[in-house]
Structure 1
Amino acid sequence: MKSLYVGIDLGGTKIAGALVDRDGSLLRRIRLETRAEQGPQPVIDRLVEAVIQLTDGVRSSVKGVGVAAPGPLDSRSGVVFSPPNLPGWMDVPLRQVLEDRLGIPVKLENDANAAAWGEYWFGAGQRKGTMIYLTVSTGVGSGLVLDGRLFRGENTFAGEIGHTIVDPEGPPCGCGRKGCLESLASGTAIAKFGQNTDPSSLIHSLAMEDGGLVRAEHVFEAYRMGDAQAEIIIRQTVLYLAIGLSNLIHIFNPGKIVVGGGVSRAGDMLFPLLREQLESYLMAPFRGTCEVVPASLGEDAGVLGAAALWTDSSRKSEQGIM
């Protein structure tokens, strides 16, 4: 039987898992409640349960398990430090714990890096050269694939584009600083700016029809319908995203930037404006050198990327992972 791999994505409200072959085909799927509020041990128990169910009957063909988890973490040592959305986790040696319980080799990766690796191998990245993956959702994260190799940095912390400062006088960020890209251009930021608009705004009308809580999609819908206050928010969001992406382009000279996450689903309301604004921030030699495209794998990017850490081609690339 051909080699199989398990990919687990711990980055959302549910544990998403899949049994994957070398070509990226999803052979089995599973979704379990994370229940992160219960602390590390119950979550680890469900991770183990997910792998056991996915590998039932094919255990001997499974060459490895890849886990995409929220940072901060050290992918080399396999230790998860203290992720904000995993309360009670503090220096948890997740890789070692899972290997001891499963008897299968495990690799641990930052969830944004895993999604980047998935898009590079099986999605919009098309396995070409240097690609940057940007996820714009509740927060803003990124993964870097440089010359076909996943770039992690000295302490495996690389890729925190969401916490680059794009406006020193900007609003407070959850990281404790001010003016980070995440505080100005994430889905959470868009919703917050929408909530602070005049109550007569179309944004609030749409929110009232949908439970009352303003979300980013209400702002985009109001923008599509011509609301002036929504237009200000979206243009401001695009401005800061363009600044952030221009910095990445000037530093890494990627051929492609793949944008995923909930905000990317705005599609034609976002990408043409973003591409136009971005070009205006680039030095002349860089203009036209980088394609900005939507991600293609959706919620499967994390599990596919985690599994891809174990494929033969990924392992060859990892010999040069930075």
Structure 2
Amino acid sequence: MEHDLPAVLSLDIGGTKLAAGVVTGDGLIHGWQVTPTRREEGPRPVLTRLFDLGRKAVAEAGVPEVAAVGISCGGPLDTTAGVLECPPHLPGWIDIPIVALATETFGVPAALENDATAAALGEFRYGAGRGTSTMVYLTISTGVGGGSVIGGRLHRGAAGNGGELGHVMVRPGGRKCSCGGGAAWRRTRPAPPSPSAPARPWPPAAPRRCPPSALPTAEDVSRAAEAGDPLAIEVWDETTWALGTALTDLVNAFEPELVVLGGGVTRSGARLLDPVAAAVARDAMPPAARAARFTLAELGDGVCVVGAGAVAHDLLTGAAR
């Protein structure tokens, strides 16, 4: 049935790049396009460029028309109203009616979904999660996001922003979330003192210092740790500890068949996957720990575009949101 679904246009709005592609019923991307977001320009010029990118994707894909538009973007957002409420990675984007604008531009129905939630749906339907019923997905890159599929259905919550697994609290009193701000790199710098914060359960307590140019991303931390840099090893061990701790709670709560890890940091492969899986196997409830398999995502940089395509297909087929 999936192969019989019509082609749809998928748009992904990130803080640093915009992406567009035509997604067919087999989950493949055609006419893939990417361009810098240049978010400092504000919503109107960015959306003009995004919709132009969508038109170019349709032309490059060689399809006569698309049946719907799926849009992926970080929240908070209102999926029912189709409105971007106030995404932190897009400063100044307040109550943008993105679905109405896309529908007007392309003349077809449109749907909006949180980017990590869309990615979870893409991996479930076309990637590593194929054939499962209950799956937890985490993307680990500049920030951490995620989504879950329960009983074959994407979990969206009461207001459409449910499943924000990147907001699981790992350490009370720890560093505050900035919704997309290089957590692994920030941990190489000393945190401001907090008089009310409890003692950290993770050693060491010594301040970490490194120039911003040395370890600008979590991927660089991973590479430096693999090369034997002591500071990077320390930060990487803490990163895998934090992920393992969070995933232990998620595995206990959801008892998934599969945990899928995606995002740029997963390019480190077993260096990330093995200690995280080991932590869950050690600390989760035995039935849940035994049920959960761990694997890396399969869809790569196109996961949000594929996921937005799946959201558009669900809109056309009337799948429950």
TM-score computed with the length of structure 1 as normaliser: 0.85
Secondary structure of 1:104's counterpart equals: coil
Secondary structure of 2:145's counterpart equals: strand
- Provide the residue aligned with 2:42 in structure 1: 39
- Provide the residue aligned with 1:311 in structure 2: 313
The 1:236/1:50 distance shift into structure 2, 3 A limit, reads: same
RMSD: 2.6
Give the 5 Å matches for 1:103-252: 103-174=107-178, 188-195=182-189, 212-252=214-254
Shift of residue 253 of structure 1? 1.2
CA distance in 2, matches of 1:60, 1:264: 37
Identity percentage of aligned residues: 37
- Provide the residue aligned with 1:291 in structure 2: 293
CA distance in 1, matches of 2:65, 2:219: 43
Equivalent of residue 277 in structure 2, options 275, 278, 283: 275
CA distance in 2, matches of 1:6, 1:222: 39
- Provide the residue aligned with 1:25 in structure 2: 28
CA distance in 1, matches of 2:98, 2:116: 18
1:54 aligns with 2:57: yes
Shift of residue 252 of structure 1? 1.1
Q: CA deviation digits over 1:94-123, x for unaligned, max 9?
A: 101111122111111111111111111111
TM-score computed with the length of structure 2 as normaliser: 0.85
CA distance in 1, matches of 2:24, 2:50: 20
Secondary structure of 2:113's counterpart equals: strand
Runs of 5+ unmatched residues, structure 1: 176-181, 198-202
Secondary structure of 1:67's counterpart equals: strand
CA distance in 2, matches of 1:37, 1:188: 19
CA distance in 2, matches of 1:222, 1:3: 45
Conserved in 2, the CA contact under 8 Å of 1:194 and 1:219? Answer: no
Equivalent of residue 256 in structure 1, options 258, 265, 280: 258
Shift of residue 66 of structure 1? 0.5
CA distance in 2, matches of 1:14, 1:160: 22
- Provide the residue aligned with 1:8 in structure 2: 11
CA distance in 2, matches of 1:147, 1:94: 30
CA distance in 2, matches of 1:214, 1:17: 27
Q: CA deviation digits over 1:54-112, x for unaligned, max 9?
A: 23396754111101011110111101001111122111111011111221111111111
1:100 aligns with 2:104: yes
Q: CA deviation digits over 1:236-278, x for unaligned, max 9?
A: 2111111111111111111111111121111121111111111
